[in-house]
Amino acid sequence: MKDLIFSIIFLIIFSSQFDRNNGNVTINLNEKRQVIDGFGASTAWNGAVPNQTMNELFGTLGYSILRIRIDENKRWADELSNAKKALKLNATVFASPWTAPVIMKVNKQDEPGPLSSNQYSNYADYLKSFVDYFKNNSAPLYAISIINEPDYSDNPMTFTPDQMKNFLKNFAERIKSGSNIKIMAPESYGYRRDMNDEILNDPQSAAAVDIIASHGYGFIMKPQPLVKKSGKKFWMTEHFIDGNDFNSVMKQAEDIHNCLTIAEFNAYIHWWLRGNSITMMLLYQNWQLTPKAF
């Protein structure tokens, strides 16, 4: 019933919009564009999401991609539960780390800082252990990211483009060994064309990455020709619009449209389902869907 109500409201609003603007739409069925892999959201820091909520999102509403978080202390049970629920509904699941275990970092603390240069192999083994844990528990992952937002100063762990290329060239295969997992990078904070291009302009690092991923904060949407030329998948793996009024929901829709038509992303993944601000969430604290979820 709730879905029907929202659908009716949507149609009323848009039918009046079309009548007023009398706009024209031209569709060229002969022009091939990118393949759309899907749409989804993240359960990072959300614990184990109830079955009913996952069924609403990945069943009723048709979400098809789930982004889960790799906890640095190996508390992985909740995200395993979420992954299994999503996979049961035929979704694709991928994972992102926000940091390595602190012992592997230069500062040995849970605050911004780089990975120690002598810990690259251990970090690769740590990521592989996550892949293996999910595979061995009947929840195989589609892809794994090297790090979330390496260019964001407040992120717990940073990677420069050179460090990212070095890691990809020398340790990506270590993560993939024994599985069909795809490697994703760089998941930059601000749709950084320069970071994507640095990876792709190096033949070895380009060969090591399967999915070029970006986030959608503080940027002007523009095409990324080198990504397109590479033939690799291009995913928007985190984005949200602050606000919970009609204008913010429409802005969100506009940004999704631009992701697909201007940047030509193959997938769009919203930020978390539930968080510390109702204006960015798809779910209320009681797990009920907000208008943005639709």
> What is the tens place of the pLDDT at every residue in 24-70?
778 888 888 999 999 999 999 999 999 999 999 999 999 999 999 99
Evaluate if residue 10 carries a pLDDT over 50: no
Closest residue by Cα to residue 175 from 209, 214, 211: 209
Closest residue by Cα to residue 234 from 223, 242, 244, 243: 223
Instruction: Supply the mean pLDDT for the chain.
Output: 90
Q: Is 100 in contact with 129 (CB distance < 8 Å)?
A: no
Query: What gap in Å lies between CA 77 and CA 71, rounded to an integer?
Result: 10
Give SS3 for 229: helix
For residue 67 the two structure tokens come to 């982004």
Nearest-10 Cα torsion for 206, 80, 216, 191: -20
For residue 209 the two structure tokens come to 């990455």
Per-residue pLDDT tens for 91-107?
A: 999 999 999 999 999 99
Which pLDDT does position 14 carry in this prediction? 47
Evaluate if residue 282 carries a pLDDT over 50: yes
Q: Determine which of 45-59, 136-150, 248-262, 268-282 has the lowest per-residue pLDDT on average.
A: 268-282
Q: Which domains does the chain show, CATH number per domain?
A: 38-293 (3.20.20.80)
Which pLDDT does position 22 carry in this prediction? 61
Q: Determine which of 41-45, 86-90, 108-112, 275-279 has the lowest per-residue pLDDT on average.
A: 275-279
Q: Determine which of 30-39, 73-82, 98-107, 215-224 has the lowest per-residue pLDDT on average.
A: 215-224
The phi and psi torsions of 137 (rounded to 5 degrees) equal -110, 30
- Mean pLDDT over 207-223 rounds to 92
Nearest-10 Cα torsion for 238, 64, 146, 104: 90
Query: What gap in Å lies between CA 219 and CA 206, rounded to an integer?
Result: 24
Active site includes 149?
Answer: yes
More reliable by pLDDT, 221 or 267: 267
Which pLDDT does position 281 carry in this prediction? 76
Marked catalytic residue, from 56, 79, 187, 238: 238
Per-residue pLDDT tens for 161-178?
A: 999 999 999 999 999 999
With a threshold of 0.85, does the pTM exceed it?
Answer: yes
Evaluate if residue 210 carries a pLDDT over 80: yes
Concatenating the DSSP letter of every residue in 36-80 gives: --EEEEE-TT--SPPHHHHHIIIIIS---EEEEEE-TT---HHHH
Quote the DSSP letter at residue 153. T
Evaluate if residue 19 carries a pLDDT over 60: no
Marked catalytic residue, from 56, 72, 149, 198: 149
Q: What percent of the chain has pLDDT over 90?
A: 73
Quote the DSSP letter at residue 231. T
Q: Determine which of 2-16, 125-139, 179-193, 244-258 has the lowest per-residue pLDDT on average.
A: 2-16
Which pLDDT does position 23 carry in this prediction? 66
Q: What percent of the chain has pLDDT over 70?
A: 90
